[in-house]
Amino acid sequence: MYNTALVFPGQGSQYIGMCNDLIENVPIAKNLFDKASTLFDIDLFSFCKNGPAEDLASTYIAQPVIFLHSIILDAVLKLNNIKISAVAGHSLGEYSALVSCGSLSLNNCLNILKTRCVEMQKANINNKGSMLAIIHDNLNEVRQICDKFSKTVIANINSHNQIIISGPVQQIEDSIQLFKENKIKKVMKLNVSGAFHSPLMNEANVTLNKVINSVNFSDIEIPIYQNVLPTENFEGKEIKNNLLKQLTGSVLWYNIIVNMKKKGINQIIEVGPKTVLSKLTKKIDSTINIIAIDTIEDLKNNGFKIIK
């Protein structure tokens, strides 16, 4: 018997063509896109359908469309009466998880996300940042190199050997040379617009946290594992406090999966575009059964019905 957790992907998982089949087959999909498009004052679905890729990847568009994609699929799973034992999301995906488990309402979440997108884009312009993926199994060695720079930090611990660092553009460039000098050669710059989960997001966090503090977070029955505190949590007040730290804190994804397994989670369903979290989970613990739900075909192939 499976104890199932839902996990939700973050920014970077978007692709042209996403949501097309959801709009055509899931009744709530168009209404959700219309609601979000009105709030964001832009036709979000047109970018899913037509691109261009550069616009779709921008923070202001990518974050709401990934969130909507996940929430639409989540609604379909709930209509199939699937039993859920836990939820989690990677960075942006934590917002999808908060709505899924009932801690945050859809409307409040969309309002927070709009502020998050606007403030992150401002911070990206004011503080030119970058991110670097390092494939290395010694976290302390990576941390020691980060510590040589004033604003470069570990942004994500994605698996036992995939670490993401974040900081100012020049510091990230300089760190590449240091990694090579320390015989850490598998490094790759990420195609992102800023230094997420780093001190360069501090100014964005000021306004974002005012909005987060203005809304209610409910206590929940299905636990959420959060990025900055990767253990199960049921209390709305603590969930809010953890979210306040998320934009500038590290995403402890490796710890989330390890802790879920310790609590008996043996199946994970990734809900949203692409399969980034499915691949990471397989690297972390190959004994966990993994299902990735991105499209209508994925739903049908895994025995879920589209209830209209």
Q: Is residue 239 part of a domain?
A: yes
Q: Is residue 308 part of a domain?
A: no
| Same domain as 222, residue 84 | yes
Q: Is residue 72 part of a domain?
A: yes
Residue with tokens 């929430």: 71
Task: Determine the pLDDT at residue 308.
Answer: 74
| Same domain as 137, residue 107 | no
Cite the active site residues: 91, 197
CATH number, residue 135: 3.30.70.250
Contact 111, 119 (CB under 8 A): no
| Same domain as 156, residue 240 | no
| Same domain as 99, residue 31 | yes
Task: Determine the pLDDT at residue 193.
Answer: 83
Q: Is residue 153 part of a domain?
A: yes
| Same domain as 210, residue 139 | no
Task: Determine the pLDDT at residue 307.
Answer: 82
| Same domain as 112, residue 207 | yes
52 prior amide bond cis, ω within 30: yes
| Same domain as 158, residue 44 | no
| Same domain as 88, residue 70 | yes
| Same domain as 173, residue 48 | no
Q: Is residue 306 part of a domain?
A: no
| Same domain as 260, residue 120 | yes
| Same domain as 245, residue 102 | yes
Domain end: 165, 189, 213, which one? 189
Ranges of residues in the chain whose predicted pLDDT is under 50: none
Task: Determine the pLDDT at residue 191.
Answer: 82
Distance CA 104, CA 87 (A): 13
Task: Determine the pLDDT at residue 293.
Answer: 98
Q: Is residue 267 part of a domain?
A: yes
What pTM, to 2 d.p., does this model score? 0.97
- Look at the chain and report how many structural domains it folds into: 2
DSSP string, 33-81: HHHHHHHHTS-HHHHHHH--HHHHTSHHHHHHHHHHHHHHHHHHHHHTT
Neighbouring-strand partners of residue 167: 130
CATH number, residue 243: 3.40.366.10
Tokens found for residue 182: 């320390």
Q: Which domain holds residue 109?
A: 4-125+199-301
| Same domain as 204, residue 183 | no
Could you read off the pLDDT of 44-69 as tens digits, one per residue? Answer: 999 999 999 999 999 999 999 999 99
Pairing of strands 267-271, 4-8: parallel
Task: Determine the pLDDT at residue 160.
Answer: 96
Could you read off the pLDDT of 212-246 as tens digits, one per residue? Answer: 999 999 999 999 999 999 999 999 999 999 999 99
Cβ within 8 Å of residue 145, ≥6 positions away? 175, 178, 179, 182, 184
